[in-house]
């Protein structure tokens, strides 16, 4: 039986509607949730991502401030802008679009964001909260992947999840979220020996490498849940993920497409994080 397709666009649309309801509930109490987005330089892909985030905020009733800066912006000037947003009570979330121009230190920039406003969930404080299982702001992409997995109705307890990739923004937090859901987790990376053997034992596969056809159908267990985070471009210019989707869908139980899988969830979870930050800043008396 061919895999069921996990419709990330539909699930994200449901979350965006929920975000709009929560934003309206906050507004009724006199609090408009606010997100500040800082874009440095003129990377065209970053400009598109930022535009999509701002538009999603507008649709959900979240106030957004988009600051564009010249690529020559100094580290001190950027840190000063973050400080200003840290102190601004109308702003509940701060996002600095990555990658930054080479002369700026992304770690210093991320750590400058107040942890209560770290809606990307990339700071050491947020990573520590995730690591220890404390409540906090979780990185949007892996949190979105968890929602996609949950949408299948699968009970993760004791299931074997294999995560391909160990970046601080996707692979590692993904593994921790799966662990928190009581899965048994294997993390694979560029030094992993016999990656196919690991994937073959997986009930759940999350591919976050950035390499086309990294996961082929012969590596999959029949019925596996396959979440494809990768974004790659085919020779014809079209987007594809890390999984050989057409062949894999004949073997998997559930699978996400690219585009239309994980991508829409990332923005939806950013909205949810902004609302979580705003609700925490304005608790119901």
Q: Does position 195 bind ligand NDP by CB under 6 A?
A: yes
For position 191 contacting ligand NDP by CB under 6 A, the verdict is yes
Minimum CB separation of residue 142 from ligand NDP in Å reads 9
Does residue 68 sit in helix, strand or coil? Answer: strand
Give the footprint of ligand NDP on residues 121-150 (CB under 6 A): 141
| Interface positions, 51-70, toward ligand NDP (CB under 6 A) | none
Extract long-range pairs of 80-83: CB within 8 Å, 24+ residues apart: 81/38, 82/38, 82/109, 82/112, 82/113, 83/112
**Choosing from 97, 147, 159, 228, which is the catalytic residue?**
97
232-266: string of b/e by CB count within 10 Å (b at 16+)?
beeeeeeebbbbbbeebbebbbbbbbbebbbbbbb
Q: Which residue has the tokens 């895999």?
A: 3
Sheet holding 160-164: strands in order across? 4-5, 254-255, 225-228, 204-207, 160-164, 184-188
Is 190 a binding residue for ligand NDP by CB under 6 A? The answer is: yes
Report the C-alpha dihedral over residues 227, 231, 232, 237, rounded to 10 degrees: 110
Binding segment for ligand NDP (CB under 6 A), chosen from 73-81, 83-91, 177-185, 186-194, is 186-194
Annotated active-site residue 97? The verdict is yes
Q: Which residue has the tokens 């869908």?
A: 249
To the query of whether residue 120 is one of the catalytic residues in this protein, the response is yes
Pick the binder of ligand NDP from 93, 142, 165, 253 (CB under 6 A). 165
151 binds ligand NDP (CB under 6 A): no
**Catalytic-labelled residue, pool 4, 7, 43, 53:** 53
Using CB under 6 A as the binding rule, whether residue 50 contacts ligand NDP is answered as: no
Q: What is the rounded CA–CA span in Å between residue 188 and residue 208?
A: 10
Please identify which residue in 5, 124, 154, 231 interacts with ligand NDP, judged by CB under 6 A: 231
User: Among 208, 268, 270, 275, which residue sits at the site for ligand NDP (rule: CB under 6 A)?
Assistant: 208
Contact 137, 126 (CB under 8 A): yes
Residue 221 bears catalytic tag: no
For residue 26, the minimal CB distance to ligand NDP (Å) is: 26
Neighbours of 164 (CB within 10 A): 30
By the rule CB under 6 A, 262 interacts with ligand NDP: yes
Residue among 39, 78, 100, 170 that touches ligand NDP (CB under 6 A): 170
User: Which range of residues in 11-19, 28-36, 202-210, 273-281 is near ligand NDP by CB under 6 A?
Assistant: 202-210
- Going along 165-268, which residue ranges are E strands? 184-188, 204-207, 225-228, 232-233, 239-240, 254-255
Q: Which of 52, 75, 111, 192 binds ligand NDP (CB under 6 A)?
A: 192
Q: Does 98 bind ligand NDP (CB under 6 A)?
A: no
Catalytic residues: 53, 97, 120
Give the binding site for ligand NDP (CB under 6 A): 141, 164-167, 169-171, 188-192, 195, 208-211, 229-231, 262-263, 266
């Amino acid at each position: 039986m061919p895999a069921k397709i996990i419709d990330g666009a539909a699930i994200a649309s449901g979350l965006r509607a929920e975000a709009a309801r929560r934003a309206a509930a906050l507004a009724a109490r006199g609090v408009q949730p606010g997100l500040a987005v800082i874009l440095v330089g003129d990377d065209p892909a970053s400009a598109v991502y930022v535009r999509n985030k701002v538009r999603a905020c507008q649709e959900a009733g979240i106030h957004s401030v988009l600051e564009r800066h010249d690529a020559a912006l100094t580290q001190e000037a950027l840190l000063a802008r973050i400080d200003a947003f840290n102190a601004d009570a109308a702003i509940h979330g701060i996002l600095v679009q990555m990658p930054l121009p080479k002369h700026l230190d992304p770690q210093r920039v991320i750590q400058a964001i107040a942890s209560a406003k770290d809606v990307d969930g990339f700071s050491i404080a947020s990573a520590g909260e995730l690591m220890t299982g404390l409540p906090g702001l979780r990185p949007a992409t892996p949190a979105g992947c968890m929602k996609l997995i949950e949408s299948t109705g699968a009970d993760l307890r004791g299931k074997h999840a294999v995560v391909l990739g160990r970046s601080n923004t996707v692979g590692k937090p993904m593994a921790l979220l799966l662990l928190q859901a009581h899965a048994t987790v294997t993390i694979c990376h560029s030094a992993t020996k016999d990656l196919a053997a690991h994937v073959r034992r997986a009930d759940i596969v999350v591919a976050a490498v950035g390499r086309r056809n990294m996961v082929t159908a012969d590596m999959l267990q029949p019925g596996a849940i396959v979440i494809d985070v990768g974004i790659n471009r085919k020779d014809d210019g079209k987007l594809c993920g890390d999984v050989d989707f057409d062949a894999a869908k004949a073997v998997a139980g559930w699978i996400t497409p690219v585009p239309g899988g994980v991508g829409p969830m990332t923005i939806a979870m950013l909205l949810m994080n902004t609302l979580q930050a705003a609700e925490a800043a304005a608790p119901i008396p």
